[in-house]
Amino acid sequence: MHTLFDRNRLQIKPLALRQSKSDLNCMIHLDTKLPPVSPEASEFMDKLISQIKQARQKGAPIILSYGAHLFKNGLAPIMIKLMEEGYIQQLVTNGAGTIHDWEMAFQGKTEEDVRHYIKKGQFGIWEETGFFLNLAIIIGASQGLGYGASVGKMIHEDMLPVPSVEFLREELEKNLQQPRLSGEFVATANLLHTLESFQIKPGILEVLHPYKQYSIQEAAYRLKIPFSVCPGIGADIIYSHPINNGAAIGQGALQDFLTFAHSVSQLEGGVFLSIGSAVMAPMTFEKAIAMARNLALQENRPLENYQIVVNDIQPGTWDWTQGEPPKNHPAYYLRFCKSFSRMGGNFYYLELDNTVFIRHLYDRLCH
């Protein structure tokens, strides 16, 4: 066995000591002036709005996948309003999307200076972010919740329910008496291990979120909209904290991916929006649509008529309506276009700032 890095030796500092680059002032309010778009972009948005409204009338899903910059650009209030108006039936993001969301709800600011804190050996090594997010996921897994719902529930309820060690031991003993172990057995064992290792007392652990009105994942939990998190192990700052548990992360993330895949399986007549997610969105959609089509073919039902719209600021150097570029063309390596162009349905790429895109999406749908 190779030598492992010992996270228990890290000097983990309180989140309050960190300087953050984004705060509540970045949030865009619904009544701010609408930014202009080109005639071509306006025409495209009109078509997209029509497709979204048709999907809603049919009961087909509108799925929105996004990267963390959407949140840091202050679009949470508009995203939440779109959810409340019934224009989003499934959300999917990466681990960073949940972290910035949670930190804003918890302390009203987020986004550290990476260059500054890397030099100090302190980037991402903050107590509250690592402790509370990981513990929420570990507890949520023992309750049968996915990654996204676990965090959304903590924000919504302003607390984490910590069971006693004795209760968990009894639950494990009961499970061992059954002919087959349940899927929650491992999650319960993980929680027991965590509580004992970190000497966490039972009861209600208060975690206040005074700015939860800006949390997309809290709104999703409150509105019962699936919020799927598709993380990369080691890609997010919560993996620096010693309480982090890979099994709980994996169980929650897998549940979220399968929830997302189910939504994709119902996408006939629907709309899939990918906003500022260059890797996670195309990679997860690719596997989900393959699984979904496998079932659709078995069940002899259609899964071809759907819209895929990718919004990013990368200049469009290739006309994707003409097919895929050759391997010697730089556009071939733009995965957020190349992969989606292979996924069937109707694929469109819109080069536009995501702030402008979401603002016009909301204005045209809700006014």
Q: Which of 4-13, 151-160, 180-189, 231-240 has the lowest mean pLDDT?
A: 180-189
pTM: predicted TM-score of the whole model, two decimal places: 0.95
For 262, 266, 287, the CA distances from 295, given in Å and listed in that order, are: 11, 11, 13
Q: What is the pLDDT of residue 319?
A: 84
pLDDT at 367 exceeding the cut of 90 = no
Domains located in the chain, CATH noted = 30-366 (3.40.50.10690)
pLDDT, tens digit, 9 for 90 and up, residues 189-235? 999 999 999 999 999 999 999 999 999 999 999 999 999 999 999 99
Backbone torsions φ then ψ of 346, nearest 5 degrees? -115, 120
Compute the C-alpha angle 157/159/163, nearest 5°: 120
pLDDT, tens digit, 9 for 90 and up, residues 333-363? 888 888 999 999 999 999 999 999 999 999 9
**Mode of pairing for the β-strands spanning 20-23 and 307-312:** unpaired
Q: What is the pLDDT of residue 333?
A: 84
More confident site: 32 or 126:
126
Q: Which tokens sit at 251?
A: 């169980």
Q: What is the pLDDT of residue 182?
A: 80
pLDDT, tens digit, 9 for 90 and up, residues 8-58? 999 999 999 999 999 999 999 888 889 999 999 999 999 999 999 999 999
**Calpha distance 136→87 (Å, rounded):** 28
Q: Which of 19-28, 156-165, 269-278, 334-343 has the lowest mean pLDDT?
A: 334-343
